[in-house]
Amino acid sequence: MPTSIAFEQAVMTLSPRQWNESGHDMARAVDALEQGKVLFFPHLSFPLTLEEVALLDPQLVDVKRKNISFQPLTHHLKGVASAAKSPAIRQLLTRYYQQSCQLVAAVLPDYQQVLHSPTNTLRLHPITAWRDTTSWRKDDSRLHVDAFPSRPTRGERIMRIFTNINPSGQNRVWRVGEPFPALAQRFLPRLKRYSPLVSWVQHRLGITKTRRSHYDHLMLQLHDSMKADQEYQQHGPQLALEFPPGSSWICFSDQTPHAAMSGQFMLEQTFLLSPASMQDQGRSPLRVLESLAHQPLV
Ligand code: SIN
Ligand code: FE
């Protein structure tokens, strides 16, 4: 039996039904988010046009990729198998970005000016499909925190907004895990040491876009160590969460351990954020790891 986490410890439920609507509990939202909680909007849907519903087809994803991804500021779209569908997908992802910005302004106004580097994805594959075909390291049905292997963030936070757009009633089911300080304490002693030389070589070889910092090394090690630990996956602290179609949720995915267990068809919007722009940067993975390691990591 896994150790259970109480729902209230892991989730804050918020009432908005519109992307530009704030509620009475907004002051607490940013605090809950920075604690690592999931902000859950059970009634915040993203209605699709009839033309967009026709885009809910896994065959539209390039076979070499997991998802379709989009950079709203440059309009760069990647991973679409059929060029004819690109304009409609670009329009959908642009609209999701715009709605996400409205949600941030309404619910997380302190973050409005400081979130940067938006990218978003259209996720069309059933989770079970990639679970069965990928290596353990890419298997997101194992609890993990997000870390980008080729794009070091040097401590920048990864905030993600998600919306279940399943047209036939299927929930997206996640597991979420323990608070980041407990997670870091558990795994830090087992993580491989950082080598600046290896980071330099990886950058020179083009394996990473910039040089991997000590922080990025530890976050990737943490990601891998969590996924590789079967005992932790089965018995570690965790809570199952169900996100029905027509609901949205937000979390810092570099902080909140998460695993996607089932579901199909989702929109996801990513923003980065400097720890210095948080209300309490002491809660960022960078500062938590630095205080445990007793040294600067970037
Ligand atoms: C993940 O971020 O690990 C996957 C989330 C999802 O696709 O539901
Ligand atoms: Fe993830």
Beta strands at 11-13 and 38-41: parallel, antiparallel or unpaired: parallel
Element (H, E) at 127: helix 127-133
Residue from 249, 253, 264 to probe ligand 1 pocket by mutation (most atoms less than 8 Å from CB): 253
CA torsion angle for 276, 282, 286, 289 (degrees, to 10)? 160
The answer to whether 99 touches 269, Cβ cutoff 8 Å, is no
pLDDT score, position 224: 97
pLDDT score, position 3: 86
Residue 172, ligand 1, Cβ within 6 A? yes
Counting from 1 in the atom list of ligand 1, the atom nearest the Cα of 160 is 2
pLDDT score, position 279: 97
SS3 267: strand
Going by CA atoms, what residue is nearest to atom 1 of ligand 1? 140
Counting from 1 in the atom list of ligand 1, the atom nearest the Cα of 172 is 8
Q: How far apart are CA 44 and CA 280, in angstroms?
A: 27
Closest by alpha carbon to 184, among 292, 35, 37?
292
What are 109's two structure tokens? Answer: 């106004």
Q: For 235-287, what is each residue's pLDDT tens digit? A: 999 999 999 999 999 999 999 999 999 999 999 999 999 999 999 999 999 99
How remote is the CA of residue 259 from the centroid of ligand 2, in Å? 7
The parts of the chain modelled with pLDDT lower than 70 are none
Across 51-81, b (16+ Cβ under 10 Å) vs e yields ebeebbeeebbeeeebbbbbebeeeebebbb
Handedness of CA 202, 207, 211, 212 (dihedral sign): negative
Please report, in angstroms and rounded to a whole number, the separation of the first and last CA atoms in the chain. Answer: 38
pLDDT score, position 205: 94
Q: How far apart are CA 141 and CA 97, in angstroms?
A: 26
